[in-house]
Chains A and B, each alone.
Chain A
Amino acid sequence: QKEVEQDPGPLSVPEGAIVSLNCTYSNSAFQYFMWYRQYSRKGPELLMYTYSSGNKEDGRFTAQVDKSSKYISLFIRDSQPSDSATYLCAMSAYRDFGNEKLTFGTGTRLTIIP
């Protein structure tokens, strides 16, 4: 079983819809969670970072963490065609341990239909 599971999609939604992207994990030591956005043929860019259970909002994006269920989500409100990309979740057990590695999900490909 993979430590981090993410539905690969593809996911297609109409412009303006609310998008929900999810990851589940099995390692209860994970405390820090990130979402990356990757446009086609580009490197991933950090979108959101959170370490506590609950919601964190940044513009149209909301990251949600439920540590009791080992489940994280990224919500995109008022989705735009420019949101079409692959979204990767990533997580780790520590924030400030020098050799700490990130564990990534495989990514969900999202297409917003105009």
Chain B
Amino acid sequence: DVKVTQSSRYLVKRTGEKVFLECVQDMDHENMFWYRQDPGLGLRLIYFSYDVKMKEKGDIPEGYSVSREKKERFSLILESASTNQTSMYLCASRTGLYNEQFFGPGTRLTVL
């Protein structure tokens, strides 16, 4: 089974803090994704990566950056957290062959 893990289930940070969210997958998948999920807005793509050190902006990249130094690990960085970044953050991965994505358990981030 595909396993996607995220470093924290719940996180509380202060406005202005730098926040790191980590995602690890164990299936040697080429592609990895970061989404945020908000009530009424559904899943919105922040960034994705189709190879090590490669990244592309999704639909809402502002205020975020990403890092992919190793194939299995994809990090989302909030350079200076703001209250409107309070959300559920979901990481996903998939092979380069098929478009079914497999999700991690999510990190619920609260920015005070």
Contact = CB atoms under 8 A, between A and B. Distances in A.
A58 interface: no
Contact of B40 (A8, A94, A95, A101): A8
Contact of B100 (A42, A43, A49, A106): A49
Interface stretch (B13-21, B75-83, B102-110): B102-110
Interface residues of B, number: 25
Contacts of B40: 8, 106
Interface residues of A, number: 27
A34 B100 contact: yes
Contacts of B43: 44, 88, 104
Interface string A64-99: 000000000000000000000000101010111111
Interface of A: 8, 32, 34, 36, 41-46, 49, 88, 90, 92, 94-102, 104-107
